[in-house]
């Protein structure tokens, strides 16, 4: 062998060993450090436990290995792996600041909704983060053409690394380490990648409950109307700026006066997670019963359709109608609601609406009018479940919190007027009607409302009909969970056979 060739070979081996040790340093030090130091937590504590570091190392090994298997370029693989960790942590921190929760395994299923309705999500991402993501994606595309190494050995080495890491991840004792979800503590103990994989494994292992039969009995009302009002909250319970002053809610005040029962609905989501409140009221299973399914119960709701209100009330003679003046495909409602027992679905096509700056979505007043018309035309007992849309965010750019608050309160006033007008219309009909109205969650407006421990929203249950002195009701004030509201509806809606 020529001396020059020997020198070149030695330099090649030296470079290979340097890359190997750089990979080890990245996997063992850099990735866990980025994740532990960068992630936001409720109390601000940073804990680097052995289990957390171990899971971070496995995830970093998997990411580097997968990228190396694809590119064969160790430098590019390390760089992209580190940048991916930064993006992962940054996105989680943005979500935490707006909604009070880190990224969860269930958020991976939101990708379809993101593509269908990007404006629901993009407004929460700062402009500089959007630029970074675009540049990062361009780098990946360019790298696919210019930085791929054809030599097979590094590709095989990367595949080996990814497989070994995945075996380690699959072997994590999720049932032992996280027998029940405790998001704040588990984020400290296992880190963001840790709760992603551990919670996902526990979610996959969760069991579907046995089906329940329809409720025996007779319909107690000619109509049961349940209205789930988007971002509806009691302004008196919100931390409004002092400059705003008291906000009048005459519709809510009248509903509370007429109610046979009213109070605070204790929802777990803040600023989002409509599906948690909706599931609780529709299906009646508590978050404790759901376990790891509680983070997005609609993902498994199709397996629990016997618990849904329309199916439970069908034997009593109720015919279910689901109303939502927006894309019914959102949250997969187009498939879930028929499985719930709804015989008819009314979507945005039933309303004449042209989106504008002042009214981007179909108004609550229009929805309320259509509910009244449907109840008036019904010839058999009917269960109407309506999900409003008017007060859905974004209310303004994140750089305009005052405008966002003003828009929110304006739409909130419209929701309140809809409640008042609908009560008046239903009370004038010659039939017995149960009206249940509730908010799905509080609003999240950057610079105005931040995630807090108090997340309650109001609910009212009003019994209307001939001979009922609703104006002077002596109803109870009871704090309920969404599942508790489900039980209340069943209790009122059915008479014993």
User: Is residue 29 very low, low, confident or very high in pLDDT (cuts 50, 70, 90)?
Assistant: confident
**237 CB neighbour count, 10 Å cutoff:** 14
Q: In the predicted model, is pLDDT for residue 304 greater than 70?
A: yes
Q: Which of 46-60, 78-92, 123-137, 196-210 has the highest mean pLDDT?
A: 196-210
Considering 157, 173, 205, which residue would you say is the last residue of a domain? 205
Neighbour-count burial for 312-350, b at 16+ CB within 10 Å, e otherwise: bbbbbebbbbbbbbbebebbbbeebbbbbbbeebbbeee
Q: Is residue 213 part of a domain?
A: no
Do residues 300 and 334 both lie within one domain?
Answer: yes
**pLDDT tens readout for residues 387-443:** 999 999 888 776 788 999 999 999 999 999 999 999 999 999 999 999 999 999 999
pLDDT of the residue at 488: 98
Do residues 37 and 181 both lie within one domain?
Answer: yes
Do residues 242 and 195 both lie within one domain?
Answer: no
Q: Is residue 211 part of a domain?
A: no
Do residues 123 and 229 both lie within one domain?
Answer: no
**pLDDT tens readout for residues 90-103:** 889 988 988 999 99
Do residues 248 and 390 both lie within one domain?
Answer: yes
Q: Is residue 210 part of a domain?
A: no
Flag the least confident range among 5-9, 58-62, 342-346: 5-9
- Higher-pLDDT residue of 381 and 36 is 381
pLDDT of the residue at 116: 67
Do residues 186 and 278 both lie within one domain?
Answer: no
Whole-angstrom distance, CA of residue 86 vs CA of residue 136: 11
Q: Is residue 158 part of a domain?
A: yes
pLDDT of the residue at 30: 82
Q: Hey, what are 452's tokens?
A: 């807090």
Considering 205, 231, 256, which residue would you say is the last residue of a domain? 205
Length of the chain in residues, anyone?
497
Asked if residue 164 lies in contact with residue 61, where contact means CB atoms within 8 angstroms, the answer is: yes
Do residues 157 and 225 both lie within one domain?
Answer: no
pLDDT of the residue at 125: 67
User: Is residue 1 very low, low, confident or very high in pLDDT (cuts 50, 70, 90)?
Assistant: very low
Asked if residue 446 lies in contact with residue 237, where contact means CB atoms within 8 angstroms, the answer is: no
Q: In the predicted model, is pLDDT for residue 202 greater than 90?
A: yes
User: Is residue 497 very low, low, confident or very high in pLDDT (cuts 50, 70, 90)?
Assistant: confident
| Domain extent for 166 | 3-205
Do residues 128 and 223 both lie within one domain?
Answer: no
Considering 180, 205, 230, which residue would you say is the last residue of a domain? 205
pLDDT of the residue at 229: 98
The structural domain count of the chain equals 2
Over residues 97-122, the mean pLDDT reads 78
User: Is residue 13 very low, low, confident or very high in pLDDT (cuts 50, 70, 90)?
Assistant: low
Q: Specify the CATH number for the domain of residue 224.
A: 3.40.720.10
Flag the least confident range among 314-318, 363-367, 448-452: 448-452
Q: Is residue 300 part of a domain?
A: yes
**pLDDT tens readout for residues 43-97:** 667 777 899 999 999 999 999 999 989 888 888 888 888 888 888 998 899 889 8
Do residues 107 and 142 both lie within one domain?
Answer: yes
Q: Is residue 261 part of a domain?
A: yes
pLDDT of the residue at 399: 72
pLDDT averaged over the chain? 89
Q: In the predicted model, is pLDDT for residue 489 greater than 80?
A: yes
Do residues 230 and 154 both lie within one domain?
Answer: no
Q: In the predicted model, is pLDDT for residue 318 greater than 50?
A: yes
Q: Is residue 178 part of a domain?
A: yes
DSSP annotation string for 124-176: TS-HHHHHHHHHHHHHHHHHHHHS----HHHHHHHHHHHHHHHHHHHTS-HHH
Q: Is residue 111 part of a domain?
A: yes
pLDDT of the residue at 48: 79
DSSP annotation string for 393-435: S--S-TT-HHHHHHHHHHHHHHHHHHHHHHHHHHHTSSS-EEE
Tell me what percent of the residues of the chain surpass a pLDDT of 70: 88
Task: Count CA atoms within 13 Å of residue 448 on its CB side.
Answer: 27
**pLDDT tens readout for residues 445-475:** 988 998 888 899 999 999 998 866 555 566 8
Do residues 195 and 247 both lie within one domain?
Answer: no
What φ, ψ does residue 453 adopt, rounded to 5°?
-65, -35
**121 CB neighbour count, 10 Å cutoff:** 15
Do residues 175 and 293 both lie within one domain?
Answer: no
pLDDT of the residue at 115: 64
**pLDDT tens readout for residues 227-238:** 999 999 999 999
Over residues 203-225, the mean pLDDT reads 97
Residue 379: DSSP 8-state = S
pLDDT of the residue at 297: 97
**29 CB neighbour count, 10 Å cutoff:** 14
């Amino acid at each position: 062998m020529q001396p020059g060739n020997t020198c070149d070979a030695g330099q090649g081996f030296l470079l290979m060993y340097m890359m190997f040790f750089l990979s080890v340093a990245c996997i063992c030090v850099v990735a866990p450090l980025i994740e532990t130091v960068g992630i936001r937590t409720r109390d601000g504590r940073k804990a680097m436990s052995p289990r957390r570091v171990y899971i971070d190392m496995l995830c970093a090994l998997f990411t580097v290995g997968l990228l190396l298997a694809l590119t064969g370029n160790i430098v590019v693989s390390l760089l992209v792996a580190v940048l991916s960790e930064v993006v992962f942590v940054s996105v989680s921190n943005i979500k935490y600041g707006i909604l009070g929760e880190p990224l969860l395994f269930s958020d991976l299923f939101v990708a379809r909704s993101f593509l269908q309705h990007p404006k629901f999500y993009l407004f929460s991402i700062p402009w500089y983060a959007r630029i970074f993501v675009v540049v990062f994606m361009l780098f990946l595309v360019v790298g696919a053409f210019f930085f791929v190494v054809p030599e097979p050995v590094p590709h095989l080495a990367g595949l080996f690394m990814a497989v070994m890491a995945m075996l380690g991840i699959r072997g994590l004792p999720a049932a032992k380490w996280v027998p029940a979800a405790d998001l704040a503590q588990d984020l400290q103990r296992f880190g963001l990648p840790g709760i992603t994989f551990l919670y996902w494994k526990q979610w996959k292992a969760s069991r579907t409950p046995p089906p329940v039969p329809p409720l025996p009995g007779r319909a107690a009302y000619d109509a049961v109307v349940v209205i789930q009002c988007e971002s509806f909250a009691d302004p008196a319970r919100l931390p409004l700026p002092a400059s705003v002053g008291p906000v009048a809610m005459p519709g809510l005040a009248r509903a509370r006066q007429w109610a046979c029962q009213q109070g605070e609905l204790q929802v777990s989501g803040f600023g989002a997670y409509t599906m948690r409140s909706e599931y609780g009221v529709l299906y009646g299973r508590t978050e404790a019963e759901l376990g790891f399914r509680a983070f997005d119960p609609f993902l498994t709701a199709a397996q629990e359709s016997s618990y849904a209100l329309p199916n439970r009330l069908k034997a009593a003679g109720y015919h279910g109608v689901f109303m939502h003046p927006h894309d019914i495909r959102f949250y997969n409602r187009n498939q879930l609601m028929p499985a719930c027992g709804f015989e008819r679905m009314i979507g945005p096509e039933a309303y004449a609406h042209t989106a504008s700056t002042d009214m981007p979505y179909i108004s609550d007043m229009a929805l309320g009018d259509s509910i009244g018309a449907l109840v008036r035309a019904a010839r058999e007992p009917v269960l109407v479940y309506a999900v409003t849309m008017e007060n859905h965010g974004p209310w303004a750019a994140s750089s305009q919190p005052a405008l966002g608050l003003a828009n929110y309160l304006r739409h909130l006033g419209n929701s309140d007027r809809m409640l008042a007008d609908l009560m008046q219309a239903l009370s004038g009909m010659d039939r017995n009607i149960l009206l249940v109205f509730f908010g799905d969650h509080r609003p999240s407006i950057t610079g105005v409302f931040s995630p807090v421990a108090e997340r309650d929203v109001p609910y009212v249950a009003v019994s209307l009909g001939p001979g009922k002195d609703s104006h002077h009701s002596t109803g109870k004030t009871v704090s309920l969970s969404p599942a508790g509201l489900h039980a209340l509806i069943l209790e009122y809606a059915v008479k014993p056979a």
